């Protein structure tokens, strides 16, 4: 019985083929990953970015403050007006399926929302409202642990 001897040429071909299979495997794994952008209309919103800047700048007339109380599992919007209505958008950067929006109404200068049912992770909440037909907004990033 003879033992197959591999010379350096055979070893080189074996190494090159193994490396190519490894690279093809990595390309397959990377191409099958789910990638969520922050927003589905990311590029369209980029064109309208000046409007975004204006709505956050204009919001300063009611001095909005957003607080996250981890111990009480609550997020609070505080403003210097007694009545305000709008929508709150909750964004989860890692998973677009968890994004949602809710209507809100400020009573006596405050709006409270329980974060007890939200999954752990990094969140961003954006409160939007209209005053005198001007869109205004305020946002806060918080982490639930």
119 DSSP assignment: P
Dist CA 15 CA 123 (whole Å): 46
CA 132-138-141 angle, to 5 degrees, is 165
Going residue by residue through the chain, which has 145 residues, state the pLDDT in tens, using 9 for 90 and above.
566 777 888 889 999 999 999 999 999 999 888 776 666 777 777 778 888 888 999 888 888 999 999 999 999 999 988 888 999 999 998 788 899 999 999 988 899 999 999 999 999 999 999 988 889 999 999 999 8
Q: What is the pLDDT of residue 96?
A: 85
Backbone angles phi, psi at 18, to 5 degrees: -65, -40
The answer to whether 88 touches 125, Cβ cutoff 8 Å, is: yes
- Regarding beta strands 100-107 and 134-144, do their DSSP bridges make them parallel or antiparallel, or are they unpaired? unpaired
Domains of the chain: which residue ranges? 42-144
Query: Under CATH, what is the fold of the domain 42-144?
Result: Immunoglobulin-like (2.60.40)
Q: What is the pLDDT of residue 123?
A: 94
Residues contacting residue 103 through CB under 8 Å, at least 6 positions apart: 85, 86, 87, 88
Q: What is the pLDDT of residue 137?
A: 94
């Amino acid at each position: 019985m003879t033992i197959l001897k591999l010379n350096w040429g055979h070893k080189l071909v074996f190494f090159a083929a193994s490396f190519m299979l490894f690279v093809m495997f990595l390309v397959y794994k990377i191409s099958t990953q789910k990638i969520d952008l922050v927003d589905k209309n990311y590029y369209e919103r980029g064109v309208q970015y000046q409007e975004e800047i204006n709505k956050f700048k204009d919001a300063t007339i009611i001095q909005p403050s957003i607080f996250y109380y981890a111990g009480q599992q609550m997020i609070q919007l505080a403003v210097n007006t007694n009545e305000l209505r709008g929508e709150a958008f909750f964004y989860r950067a890692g998973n677009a399926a968890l994004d949602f929006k809710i209507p809100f109404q400020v009573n006596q200068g405050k709006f409270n929302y329980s974060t007890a049912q939200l999954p752990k992770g990094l969140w961003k909440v954006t409160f939007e409202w209209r005053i005198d037909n001007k869109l205004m907004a305020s946002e806060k990033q918080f982490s639930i642990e």
